[in-house]
Amino acid sequence: MPVDLEAIHGIIEKHGYEESSIIAILQDIQSTVNYLPQKALREISKSMDIPLSRIYAIATFYKAFSLRPRGRHSIHVCLGTACHVRGGQRVLEYLERKLGVKSGQTTRDLMFTLERVNCLGACAMGPMMVVDQKYLGKVKIDKIESILKKYK
Ligand code: FES
């Protein structure tokens, strides 16, 4: 979903023009379009009279923000040691083939962003993957397609 100037101004007005509002403004834009478009950051800078570099510093500091378009759903595959020995790499490779992206990328239809992580703290349940906030343990390759279908 594109973010237009009117929507950006609406979000700024809602939170106020003080520099202390920037995080809340960025959060609103991130949750509206799933990332922070350059156009939005430039408009915030201009409207609030805050240097663009300051806004970028905040946008890149917090992990919750992304400067690249992200999928509607995030998939994290664990490649920590315990999950790796239980087949985590095969899970990741299957997803890369199935979605047509590499780890760290987003599908063209902006449905999924695929990422690898190093440990999700549930090692006994490996291989682990997380779709959005849902933890899935003992993932089997032949079940992945039906998992993905639930999110389409
Ligand atoms: S190594 Fe995967 S959850 Fe710990």
Per residue in 68-101, pLDDT (tens digit) is: 888 999 999 999 999 999 999 999 999 999 999 9
Per residue in 6-50, pLDDT (tens digit) is: 999 999 999 999 999 999 999 999 988 889 999 999 999 999 999
Pairing of strands 73-78, 112-117: parallel
The ligand 1 atom at the shortest distance from the C-alpha of residue 120 is: 3
Ligand 1 centre distance from Cα of residue 77 (Å): 9
- 3-state DSSP helix/strand/coil percent for the chain, to nearest 5? 50, 10, 40
- Alpha carbons 85 and 103: distance in angstroms, whole number: 19
Mutating to test ligand 1, I would choose from 76, 89, 115, 123 the residue with most ligand atoms within 8 A of its C-beta, which is: 123
Question: What CATH number labels 73-149?
Answer: 3.40.30.10
Ligand 1 centre distance from Cα of residue 70 (Å): 24
Q: What are the extents of the domains in the chain?
A: 5-61, 73-149
Token pair belonging to 118: 């190093």
Query: For residue 4, what pLDDT band results from cuts at 50, 70 and 90?
Result: confident
Residue nearest to atom 1 of ligand 1 (CA): 80
